Structure 1
């Protein structure tokens, strides 16, 4: 039996992760809206103007998988659980509902962040309205028809609030166990993907720092101290992913983005290479590609890439969005070639050229996972995106 065909278009040789730096006028208008000082339509006018501008930045820097920069969101994970019937907004969050072993929870408590909010399940979960289709349709309206097939929508991870809240993620008189809980979430994701496809979307990226947390020794140790089977929980999340993606159209590309936190000034929440989860990540989750953080040593080495199957792609996040300093093209080229060498000599041997063909490059994360963004101004963001495409051309001659 021949190996499945590698799906590479999308993603593109030169990718961007999703969130882009928001202009000050948009940030100010959103504050007005949240304070009840302007209407939704007035906010939308400013959003549209800002998105038009950032779409043009992507065009000019050679980025083909165009996004709206997540300009209609406050946080990268907005969209699913704030629109899902059965979820309740909670602010502030009672401290006992936050699991200290989760790296971002531990970091927020350490830095004494006050007034954090969350969503918890209070009744049966049901999708009664679309999550991201309106954002995709709005992006289509601001782009040309020939660009529509390449537009990318980023989505929240299905286990987002579950890991954070542990035993408090849902009432036991609503769901008996995790399988029941995730079964309803899967139904919602399946419906959303079908609606996105019907609207013309062919490129999805699921943002999931939580899977990278399973690489962190701090979380593994904390779970073991609480008597939590982290291996079984990871298996639960993998099953949830595969159920969410069940019956998706064959020509809809789905990628999975892992990072270790990228909050405001680039503060990260966890460290540890992909080694602990590599086999399950690459071989058991039914996605087409992986967007992996690789801009600092905290993500480990390329060695786990030896488990990447020949029919999947990996987008190496080699360029930092945390700081404005530009990386060197020659160094980036060499790192890509190093990764290809490891892939080619992996569990399923292949030629160096075949391995190189499985690789794309990108920044390690978005430029504004939180609406306030990182310590990178508009000029530096444009330079970083241009660096991605220049490096891709140096390696593959295409983007």
Structure 2
């Protein structure tokens, strides 16, 4: 049997995850909008101005997979469940509806964050309007025609609220089990992907810190104490992913981004290498590439990459978005070479140069997964993205 062809363009050698630092003017205007002091049209004018500027910055540093920086969102996972019929906005969230074994829930309770909101399923789920198509169309209007095929749209993970709320994720008189719940979510994702494709989108990235939580001993222990079969639940989520992606066009690149949290002031939620989930992650989820956190020891070693199939790519998140200090190019080159050696020794074994061709590089996560962002200002963000490009050029001669 012939080896499936590696799909690499997109992603590009030098990538970024999606969210970028929002300018103060945009943050202030969104606050006005949320307080009823300006219209949606007035907010859009400021959003468009900010996006034009951030797109130009991406061009100038050499990033080709252009995003709008998620400037039209408050949180990175906005877009799906807030637009899905059958979901109800709940604020504040009753504490009993939050599963303490989920690392970000535990962190929020420990840091006493007030007024958290969520979405809960209350009736049959149905996509009655697009999730991200308007954002793609708006970015098309602000970019050049030759850039449209490279626009990347980031999407929420299909299991986002399910893991967080456990038994409270949906009423049992609405869905009998997880399979029924995710079947309707899959129908919604399938329709969204087809509509994005029809609009011209060829590059999507699903952001999923939750899969990385299955690498955390704290969550595994907490689930076992509650009598929850974490192995079966991970299998449920993998099945859900593959159903969501069923029927996607062959020339649409789908990437999956995993990290362990990137909240205020560099706060992260979990630790643990990819070893526990690597085989299922790389071999069973039908995506083309993986954007993996690798900027600190909390993500473990490159050893799990030996399970990466020959027809998939990995985008190594070697550069921190949490702090402004710049990494060293030579060190980054050595780390990429180390990763290539490990991939080459995997199953099936392959030449190091073949393994190196499966690798791209990026920052570890977005620069502003939530609107407030991290301790990296706009200048430092630009320097970080320039570093990604310079490193890619040093390794592959191109981006």
Please give the range of the TM-score, normalised by the shorter of the 2 chains. Answer: over 0.9
Q: 1:250 — aligned with what?
A: 250
Secondary structure of the residue that 1:112 maps to in structure 2?
Answer: coil
Q: Deviations over 1:145-164 (max 9, x none)?
A: 00000000000000000000
Instruction: Give the Å deviation of 1:86.
Output: 0.1
Unaligned runs of 5+ in 1: none
Distance 1:348 1:318 in 2: 25
Does residue 45 of structure 2 align to residue 65 of structure 1?
no
Secondary structure of the residue that 2:360 maps to in structure 1?
Answer: strand
Q: For 1:304-315, what aligned pairs fall within 5 Å after superposition? A: 304-315=304-315
Distance 2:20 2:258 in 1: 17
Q: Deviations over 1:214-252 (max 9, x none)?
A: 000000000000000000000000000000000000000
User: Any runs of at least 4 consecutive aligned residues in structure 1 with deviations exceeding 6 A, and if so which?
Assistant: none
Instruction: Give the Å deviation of 1:62.
Output: 0.4
Q: For 1:6-85, what aligned pairs fall within 5 Å after superposition? A: 6-85=6-85
TM-score (norm 2): 1.00
Secondary structure of the residue that 2:383 maps to in structure 1?
Answer: helix
Q: 2:121 — aligned with what?
A: 121
Secondary structure of the residue that 1:204 maps to in structure 2?
Answer: strand
Instruction: Give the Å deviation of 1:385.
Output: 0.2
Q: For 1:29-178, what aligned pairs fall within 5 Å after superposition? A: 29-178=29-178
Instruction: Give the Å deviation of 1:347.
Output: 1.6
Q: 1:372 — aligned with what?
A: 372
Distance 2:56 2:374 in 1: 21
Instruction: Give the Å deviation of 1:119.
Output: 0.1
Distance 1:266 1:206 in 2: 21
Instruction: Give the Å deviation of 1:264.
Output: 1.4
Q: 1:237 — aligned with what?
A: 237
Distance 1:253 1:282 in 2: 16
Secondary structure of the residue that 1:236 maps to in structure 2?
Answer: helix
TM-score (norm 1): 1.00
Q: For 1:148-227, what aligned pairs fall within 5 Å after superposition? A: 148-227=148-227
Secondary structure of the residue that 1:265 maps to in structure 2?
Answer: helix
Q: 1:347 — aligned with what?
A: 347
Distance 2:346 2:101 in 1: 33
Instruction: Give the Å deviation of 1:44.
Output: 0.2
Does residue 296 of structure 2 align to residue 296 of structure 1?
yes
Secondary structure of the residue that 1:306 maps to in structure 2?
Answer: helix
Instruction: Give the Å deviation of 1:268.
Output: 0.2
Q: 2:381 — aligned with what?
A: 381
Distance 1:249 1:375 in 2: 39
Distance 2:337 2:264 in 1: 32
Distance 1:310 1:95 in 2: 45
For these two proteins, the number of residue pairs brought into alignment is: 399
